[in-house]
Structure 1
């Protein structure tokens, strides 16, 4: 493995548009947005494999693939993801699958001299009762939210992996922690989706069927921050070209809304006219999760897509693709 101490200059700069760029998870919510961003930015050799073509949990296959394509850059956006129900029901799967995906891709990247890697995590890595807005140095300062602690631990391990590579080899690998993301190619499954796509599907189906009542989990009082996936992709490329530091970087908008507010907004966007009920026997999750994005701003990036615009675009995409989405 080539080290920075060998005299190689790894100072962040504009990436080579003709170099091989591997996007792990290129068909997912974030990965597909990153592919779109790279294509629009002039990259000519973007590669990826579906999970059917390459199981990232299979270490030998991952090493063989990266050895074959020899990427110069990697964005690790592949992960097993889900909402409160999925995370709390299948913690073993979320821990084991994500640990294997991350260690396989990052170890293979190291073995194949990948110059620049961006590991994408999640804001759930932070303590449940972290001071708001959440700074990067809040990591490992308190207890995690129990409904997704297994997933969070896996993502924390990924951050540690990147930091270990930086310490041992001096490579400018980085980690970016997005807030709640939404947009095209999201998971709108009733049992596996996150809150915003779940609400879009629930309210759209209610509007189409003429239902007079929709029931959501919890109290509706928790506050959440939402970032469009195209904004996330823009931020990732910006960080890869401008940021070099061991600490993970929060990626968000710096503003939040209550779940009740986002539900009302989605109802308006899809044209739902009925009532909304709240099942308070179901968990709320973390009371508030707003990221401090000052480090991101210092690196020269701020979000561009406001929530109203992003929701209208996402609802339009959902309706165009509803017939082919996961049930």
Structure 2
């Protein structure tokens, strides 16, 4: 891949997209394109078509999505299925119409069945029912995976889907109404710490197991897919190791220095019991994560502290 190849990163202001942008810039890629949602509404098919025909990118990296945790998925099921399908379908179809040769589609491990055998292999896609709390987002992402597979099969283009495990890192979303579990915990423990180490209430039992990947490692996986023509259409991206939500909470609590009590609200849902990715396909090709969980959480908390005054209702 040429350093001056025109690369459009959809969702370049988000946590994942901005990490991809930073990584590519550091590596010397100098023709990156990004548009804010105000400049380009990816839900609008005509706007996307006009943009693609004008810019003619050689590569598209789709890191744009409406995302959120259990609460957001549960409260806004229509927006999660419809807006995500609109965004990805408009991008994929415009890429095909404008002869884009390489398209990297980013999804989520939630595309796999709720009770699938662990660790999750790419072959498990569409073999059983999904986790109800995020099936709307999952169904949208599955359609994106299959659309890219169809283009790959029918037109021979290098359209590939990368399914990351739970991502976290700098530039994450720390809004307690819409954030994922790890950044939500960072904010809760931080606010409790500065509030005389008040008790922290967390959802569920703490027993589900989760795998977490630092966002810069995800960006490096995208670069790997950019610089190589991957032989298959779907790849898991993760660490291949997991821990319980309780262990995660205790790790974050220790890093932040919170000394108070953790209260588990078992009236709230746990979600999928376990979601561990089989990442052997990526490992076999030569990619592996570099940043371990403790170091990644510390980096994320440091960034949170540097930017805390920009978050609403954070007491500093």
Q: Secondary structure at the match of 1:272?
A: coil
Distance 1:118 1:306 in 2: 25
Checking the alignment, whether the CA contact within 8 Å between 2:152 and 2:233 is kept in structure 1 is no
Corresponding residue of 1:255: 241
Of the three residues 42, 46, 65, the one matched with 2:32 is: 46
2:64 aligned with 1:69: no
Of the three residues 105, 117, 132, the one matched with 2:103 is: 117
Q: Report the RMSD for the aligned CA atoms in angstroms.
A: 0.9
Distance 1:246 1:227 in 2: 22
Corresponding residue of 1:271: 257
Distance 2:36 2:303 in 1: 21
Q: Secondary structure at the match of 1:173?
A: strand
Of the three residues 19, 26, 45, the one matched with 1:33 is: 19
Distance 1:78 1:263 in 2: 28
Q: How far has the Cα of 1:42 moved from its partner?
A: 0.7
Checking the alignment, whether the CA contact within 8 Å between 1:172 and 1:245 is kept in structure 2 is no
2:188 aligned with 1:202: yes
Checking the alignment, whether the CA contact within 8 Å between 1:250 and 1:295 is kept in structure 2 is yes
2:6 aligned with 1:20: yes
Corresponding residue of 1:313: 299
Corresponding residue of 1:5: none
In structure 2, relative to structure 1, the CA distance for the partners of 1:321 and 1:87 (3 Å cut) is: same
Of the three residues 168, 172, 176, the one matched with 1:186 is: 172
Checking the alignment, whether the CA contact within 8 Å between 1:173 and 1:244 is kept in structure 2 is no
Checking the alignment, whether the CA contact within 8 Å between 2:113 and 2:127 is kept in structure 1 is yes
Relative to the length of structure 1, the TM-score reads 0.94
Q: Secondary structure at the match of 2:290?
A: coil
Corresponding residue of 1:142: 128
Q: How far has the Cα of 1:326 moved from its partner?
A: 5.5
Q: How far has the Cα of 1:167 moved from its partner?
A: 1.3
Q: Secondary structure at the match of 1:52?
A: coil
Checking the alignment, whether the CA contact within 8 Å between 2:255 and 2:298 is kept in structure 1 is yes
Corresponding residue of 1:165: 151
2:124 aligned with 1:133: no
Checking the alignment, whether the CA contact within 8 Å between 2:217 and 2:290 is kept in structure 1 is yes
Corresponding residue of 2:227: 241
Distance 1:218 1:73 in 2: 41
Checking the alignment, whether the CA contact within 8 Å between 1:243 and 1:299 is kept in structure 2 is no
Q: How far has the Cα of 1:242 moved from its partner?
A: 2.2
Q: Secondary structure at the match of 2:200?
A: strand
Q: What count of residue pairs does the alignment treat as equivalent?
A: 313
| Cα shift readout 1:259-287 (whole Å, capped 9, x = no counterpart) | 00010111111110000000001000000
Distance 1:243 1:143 in 2: 31
In structure 2, relative to structure 1, the CA distance for the partners of 1:283 and 1:180 (3 Å cut) is: same
Long gaps (5+) in structure 2: none
Q: Secondary structure at the match of 2:179?
A: coil
In structure 2, relative to structure 1, the CA distance for the partners of 1:34 and 1:326 (3 Å cut) is: farther
Checking the alignment, whether the CA contact within 8 Å between 1:212 and 1:275 is kept in structure 2 is yes
2:76 aligned with 1:78: no
Query: Which structure 1 residue ranges, 4+ long, deviate > 3 Å from structure 2?
Result: none
| Cα shift readout 1:97-130 (whole Å, capped 9, x = no counterpart) | 0000001011111111111110000000000011
| Cα shift readout 1:130-164 (whole Å, capped 9, x = no counterpart) | 10010000100111000000100000000011011
Corresponding residue of 1:58: 44
Long gaps (5+) in structure 1: 1-14
Distance 2:37 2:169 in 1: 21
Distance 1:243 1:288 in 2: 31
